[in-house]
Structure 1
Amino acid sequence: MGHQISRRTLFRSASGIAVAGALGTSLSACSGGTGAGSTSSDLTMIWWGSDDRHAAYKKVLAAFQKKNPKIKIRPTYSGYDGYFDKFNTNIAGGSAPDLLQMDTALVAQYARKGVLAPIDSYVGKSLDLTGFSKTLLAAGTVDGKLYGVPSGIGVNQLTVNRTGLEKLGLELPDREWTWADLKKISQDVYKKSGGKIYGVDDGGGSTLQCFEVFARENGETFFTEDGKKLGFTADTLQEWWEYWAGMRKANASPPPAITSAAHNDLTKNAVVIGKALFTFDSGVYGAGGSITDAQLDFLPTPQGDFSGAREGNFVNGGVLLSATKASKKVADSVKVMSYFAQDATAIKDMQLLRGIPPTEKARGLIASGLTETDKLNMANADYIAQRVGKASDALAAPAPPPQGADQIWDLLFQSNLAVAFGKKSVKAQLGAFFDQSAGILEG
């Protein structure tokens, strides 16, 4: 079963972002062409995912067609690799699908190139978004228009090996914990394990689930709203890297060789290989299912423990369902989106396969059928969503990332490694990071 889908998936969207940028003008030129829906009597729909997700989608669509016999749906599905390559080829050839599962990392680029259809005019009519928060809908909103319906709640959280903690005689930290609390328990893990296990994997280069939250606690964003510049200061990044340098020095986090080996490879994640008990990568229990036998639990990203710290956590939309602008079946596609969002049977059939359901109603409908870890996962996401919703000082949810974002995220990771390996000082790496980031965003 698939589970929590967070903004960590954005790192794995790099190939799609690159292709979208490379096609640039061809996407714009073809966006007004004939979509697949206009050359076929069927509504064409595409998505990516696991076999479990495919089966659930097909079951829900079959039920939808029984209730809507005039709408015939022709589905195509695959894994993530190559998904957007094929989508781009179809756009360029004038055979774009009518309805698709869209990545939150790419929605802004496709919307601005005229590939996706705005669907605001359907809201409150054939598109029922009752129970969806404004914060959540921001994940599918570009330049004030809605281009996608979020599938679920995506949150920034830590995945915890609770079994390992209990074996060491340690308790799971309170959800209202701070960065100082993270350091303390991470040091306790190292001491209690006799130096065999570190507390938390190195988050100094973990952009989306770690540094972005820290920057927001400082009242800053990763990118500016228009995506043309970085939204945080050198002082904030310096404080961040110095925190993680201190974590490594105190043996609270593993040495850089472990961090480097785990980059974009979950099988080498420090929690999975037994070298840490806390990780910022929710993919350990993510869309492909758990890859460790330990009992896992979940915590919000820590809060700022400095004067004036704001709520840094936020909620995003998992994946989206979007319609293509070239399609002549946008109205029918919207009916499908609404069905997935509100139909009780559809919600139960999908469970957590597209992320934690986006509304309290939906979460209540599936709660009784979940595994213990699923329940813990959903409870933590629900807790974060409620806390963010109540926070008067929380910034708006981040805008969809700009072109070049994947390069900057990777640059942050590599920059932290350079510091960790002793190749660069924090201050020297700061200058290089900001210079290179500016060049990427300007290019």
Structure 2
Amino acid sequence: MHPATGNSRRRLLRGIAAVAVALPLTFGAAACGGDDNEGSSTDANKPVELSVFYWGSEKRAELTQTALDAYKAKNPNVSFKITWQANQGYADKLATLAASGDVPDLFATDDNMLADFATRNVTADLNEYKGNKLDLSKFPPSLVEYGTVDGKLVGIAAGENTQGLVYNKTLLTTNALPEPTTGMTWEAFIDWAAQVTTKTKVPGTMDPSADYKAFWVWLRQQGKDLYNGKQFGFTADDVAKWFTLWKGARDKKATPTADIIHEGNVTDISKQLVVTGKAATSFVWANQMPELKKSTKDDLGVVAYPGDPSAQWARAAMYWNVANSSDNKAVAVDVINFLVNDEAAVTALGTDRGLPSNMDLRAKFAETVTDPAMKLSIQVENDLASKFGKAPQVPPKGHSTFRSELVKAAENVQFGRATPEKAAADLIAVVQPKLG
């Protein structure tokens, strides 16, 4: 999930409390309605109130408010009832609202949630608005594809992201070592990492065997995919091969020991091994470069994950969705279109939800960026855009379970508690029944 802009927990909770007091979680008045688009407001003079729900930090709330204020300045008949909260518990809250028929008009999801809510008919199909109220012509095609579930366009990317291999450039330069490159094979990368360990005494790479992003890219390079409908798109043998690849890397001292690897498996970006000095590289999201840079004085670089870069795709860091029950679908779609295609809105939102989805506006935004880490992140992702392959299907319900169970299975192998084969078989057995 796209990380919230860093703020202290105390400030975040204070912001949530303030919003909760001013804007209670009562969406029903704006969101009750039929399943079709009849009754959607298109009258520029008719007062419309849209309920909006998303997760994030105080900073995200400020940026979003600025963008919505810009929309209201052009559409004074539209007002917003905004509620936001921390990432933790957001999906559960949205599920509760869906179960009670109280879904907000406009809300956010990510690829952990999208298919689940789409298959429950919570999200509206926005295909009918494409080319009319919704202009996606400046989006990378795979970014549009990655918002489609069962042929329905149910999510519009609020921003784009892709996988990135971040490395300690200062460490490599100081020791006259070559930098990793996009397109190097996994085996070549592991050999390179072993060389880094030998020369610098810093393990060359984190062990990404617990990282679903890395496993997913590797699978696509084998001609497979993470999912095929509501089933896995791979076998236990594939998982065992992946675990064995990294067992070999550990044997070559290309990675840290299991206890340090465990530290790299946490989601806190500030604890990634590339910035704590416990590995020369980390497997992250490309747009996390600026946040990583805040945690180290060393210069960082970023390239694609090892292997064929066409296995990567333009991923929605977050989606905007419209409630299928909303009386004001057309207005909600118009707001989304504004947020992703209006220059003032895109500038206000920045990269908080990923790189701008509109490639023309991304290029304009890049000209204004002064942060070297963000400049590099944008440059790398733009370079990769020409190499991106077709987007995979949006993960089905149960994807979050797979992610957590992959960590457990990988760590069982890393700590020697299970063979790659046993850990792989256990992973499939636990997760497959929960997909759907």
On the 8 A contact 1:152/1:354 being kept in 2, the answer is: yes
Tell me if structure 2 keeps the 8 A contact 1:140–1:146: yes
Query: Hey, what's the Cα distance between the residues in 2 that align with 1:428 and 1:235?
Result: 10
Task: Give the counterpart letter for 1:184 in structure 2.
Answer: D
Match of 1:292 in 2: 295
Matched, 1:363 2:362: yes
Choose from 174, 177, 185 the match for 1:178: 185
Work out the CA distance in 1 between the residues paired with 2:329 and 2:107: 11
Q: How is 1:185-204 mapped onto 2 (pairs within 5 angstroms)?
A: 185-193=192-200, 195=201, 197-204=202-209
Partner of 1:245: 247
1:233 paired with 2:235, answer yes
CA deviation vs aligned residue, 1:100-146 (integer Å, no higher than 9, x gap): 12222211111111111111111111111121233111221110011
Q: Are the structure 2 counterparts of residues 298 and 148 from structure 1 closer, same or farther at C-alpha, using a change threshold of 3 Å?
A: same
When residues 426 and 104 of structure 1 are mapped into structure 2, their CA distance, relative to the original with a 3 A threshold, is closer
Aligned residue identity for 2:94: F
Q: How far did residue 213 of structure 1 move?
A: 0.7
Query: Which residue identity does 1:207 align to in structure 2?
Result: Y
Tell me which amino acid in the other structure corresponds to 2:271.
K
Q: Displacement, 1:264?
A: 2.6
1:416 is matched with which residue: 410, 415, 426?
410
Could you tell me which amino acid in structure 2 is paired with residue 398 of structure 1?
A: P
Q: Partner of 1:24 in structure 2?
A: none
Distance 2:152 2:238 in 1: 32
The residue type equivalent to 1:281 in the other structure is V
SS at match of 2:104: coil
TM-score normalized with structure 2 length: 0.85
The amino acid that maps onto 2:387 is R
Change (3 A) 1:438 1:92: closer
Please name the residue that 1:161 is paired with: 168
Are 1:159 and 1:284, in contact at CA under 8 Å, matched by a contact in 2?
no
Q: What amino acid maps onto 1:277 in structure 2?
A: A
Partner SS for 1:363: helix
1:83 and 2:90 aligned: yes
Aligned to 2:381: 381
Task: Work out which of the residue numbers 257, 272, 275 in structure 2 matches 1:272.
Answer: 275
Q: CA deviation at 1:234?
A: 3.5
- Stretches (4+) displaced over 4 A: 38-41, 286-291
Matches within 5 A, 1:60-139: 60-139=67-146
- CA distance in 1 between counterparts of 2:289 and 2:94 reads 24
Q: 1:282 aligns with which of 280, 285, 293?
A: 285
Return the alpha-carbon distance in structure 1 between the equivalents of residues 242 and 236 of structure 2: 10
User: Which amino acid is 1:422 matched to?
Assistant: G
Summarize the Cα distance change of 1:290–1:379 in structure 2 as closer, same or farther, 3 Å threshold.
same
Quick one: distance in 2 between partners of 1:88 and 1:69?
31
Query: What secondary structure, in the 3-state scheme, does the structure 1 residue paired with 2:54 have?
Result: strand
- The answer on whether the counterparts of 1:98 and 1:324 sit within 8 Å (CA) in structure 2 is yes
Measured in 2, the distance between the counterparts of 1:368 and 1:311 equals 27
- Alpha-carbon deviation of 1:183? 1.2
With over 3 angstroms needed to count, the CA separation of the structure-2 counterparts of 1:289 and 1:350, relative to structure 1, is: farther
> What letter is aligned with 2:365?
I
2:319 alignment partner in structure 1: 320
Out of 259, 262, 269, the residue aligned to residue 260 of structure 1 is 262
1:205 to 183, 203, 210: 210
Partner of 2:426: 432
1:217 partnered with 2:217: no
Q: Which position in structure 2 is the counterpart of 1:329?
A: 328
Q: Any stretches of 5+ residues in structure 2 without a counterpart?
A: 4-26, 34-46
Closer, same or farther: CA 177–426 of 1 in aligned 2, 3 Å: same
> How many residues are treated as equivalent by the alignment?
397
2: CA distance, partners of 1:380 / 1:158: 11
How many Å apart are 1:429 and its aligned residue?
2.5
Cα contact 2:158–2:340 (8 A) shared by 1: yes
Deviation at 1:351, TM superposition (A): 1.6
Q: Deviations over 1:249-301 (max 9, x none)?
A: 11111111112234334243222321001111238936966441232221101
- 1:34: Cα distance to partner? 5.1
Distance change (3 Å), C-alpha of 1:403 and 1:44: same
Deviation per CA, 1:65-104: give whole Å up to 9, x if none.
1111111122222221222233233333443211012222
What SS does structure 1 have at the residue aligned with 2:98?
Answer: helix
Return closer, same or farther for 1:298/1:117 CA change in 2, 3 Å cut-off: same
Contact 1:50-1:288 at 8 Å conserved across structures: no
Native 8 Å contact 2:166 2:282 kept in 1: yes
Cα–Cα, structure 1 residues 151 and 289, in superposed 2: closer, same or farther, change >3 Å?
farther
Q: Is the 8 A contact 2:347 2:365 kept in 1?
A: yes
Match of 2:30 in 1: 36
Aligned CA distance change for structure 1 residues 284 and 381 (closer, same or farther; 3 Å): closer
Query: Mean alpha-carbon deviation: is it higher for 178-187 or for 363-372?
Result: 178-187
Q: Is the 8 A contact 1:47 1:100 kept in 2?
A: yes
Which amino acid is the alignment partner of residue 155 of structure 1? Answer: T
Q: Which residue is equivalent to 2:19?
A: none
TM-score, reference length from structure 1: 0.83
Greater displacement, 81-90 / 319-328 = 81-90
Partner Cα separation in structure 1 for residue 98 and residue 364 of structure 2: 37
Secondary structure at 2:209 match in 1: coil
| Preserved contact between residue 201 and residue 253 of structure 1 (Cα < 8 Å) | yes
Whether the aligned pair in 2 keeps the contact of 1:153 and 1:356 (CA below 8 Å) is yes
**Alpha-carbon distance between aligned partners in 2 of 1:408 and 1:91, rounded to the nearest angstrom:** 24
